[in-house]
Chains A and B, each alone.
Chain A
Amino acid sequence: MRGVISDTERRGMRRRLSTIQVLLIVALLLEGAGPIYWLFKGAISSTQESLRDPLALWPAEARWSNLTEAWTTLEVGHYLTNTVVLVAGSWFTQLFVAATGAYALSILRPSYGKYVYGAVLATLFLPATVSMVSLYLTVLDLGIANTPLSVWLPAGAHAFNVLLVKQFFDGIPRELFEAARLDGAGAWRIFTSVVLPMSRPILAVVSLLAVMNAWKDFLWPMIAITDTESQPLAVALPRLADTSDQALLIAGMLIAIIPPVAVFLVFQRQIIRGIAFTGLKG
Chain B
Amino acid sequence: MAGALVLAAATSGCSSGSAEGDLGKTTITVAGMPATTAAKTRKQFLDAVAAFEKANPDIKLKPTDTQWDARTFATRLAGGNAETVLTVPLTEPPGLIARRQIADLSAEIKTLPHATDFDPRALAPATGAEGKVYGLPVTEYALGLVYNRALFAKAGLDPDKPPATWDEVRAAAKKIAGPGVAGYTQMTVKNTGGWILTAMTYSFGGQMEKKEGEQYVPSLLDGPAEQALRHLAAMRWQDDSMGANQLRTQQDAERDFAAGKIGMMIGTVNSYTRYTTLYSGKPDDFGIAALPQQAGAKATLLGGLVAAVNAKATPAQRAAAVKWIDYYYLKPNYDPAAAEQLAIANAADKLAVGLPTLPFYGTAVSGPVNAAIAKHSNIPVSNFTPYVKDTDKLEYLVEPPVAAQDLYGALDTAVQAVLTRKDADPRDELTKAAARVAPLLEKAQ
Contact = CB atoms under 8 A, between A and B. Distances in A.
Contact of A227 (B38, B66, B80, B255): B66
Interface in A214-250: 223, 226-229, 239-240, 242-246, 248
Interface stretch (B11-19, B90-98, B378-386): B11-19
Nearest to B66: A228
Interface in A130-152: 136, 140, 145-146
Report the interface size class on chain B.
20 to 34
Interface string B32-50: 0001111100000000000
Interface of B: 5, 11-14, 35-39, 64-67, 72, 75-76, 79-81, 249, 251, 255, 259, 261, 274, 278-280
A228 B67 CA distance: 9
Contacts of B249: 242
A129 interface: no
A242 B81 contact: no
B37 A145 contact: no
B401 to A, nearest CB: 28
Contact of B13 (A75, A227, A245): A227
B37 A227 contact: no
Given A145-B79, A226-B11, A243 B280 contact: no
A243 B259 contact: no
B182 to A, nearest CB: 14
- State the main secondary structure of chain A at its contact with B: helix
Contact of B12 (A140, A226, A240, A248): A226
Contacts of A223: 75
B66 A243 contact: no
B66 A145 contact: no
A229 B259 contact: no
Contacts of A6: none
Contacts of B5: 243
A226 B261 CA distance: 34
Given A242-B249, A243-B251, A226 B80 contact: no
Contact of A48 (B11, B75, B259): B259
A72 to B, nearest CB: 8
Contacts of B38: 243
30 contacts: A47-B259, A51-B259, A73-B36, A74-B37, A136-B75, A140-B79, A140-B80, A145-B81, A146-B12, A146-B14, A223-B75, A226-B72, A226-B75, A226-B76, A227-B13, A227-B64, A227-B66, A227-B81, A229-B64, A239-B67, A243-B5, A243-B35, A243-B38, A243-B67, A243-B251, A243-B274, A243-B278, A244-B37, A245-B37, A245-B280
A229 B72 CA distance: 16
Contacts of A244: 37, 278
A192 to B, nearest CB: 38
Given A227-B13, A227-B64, A242-B67, A73 B37 contact: yes
Contacts of B64: 227-229
A245 B280 CA distance: 9
A73 B67 contact: no
Nearest to A48: B259
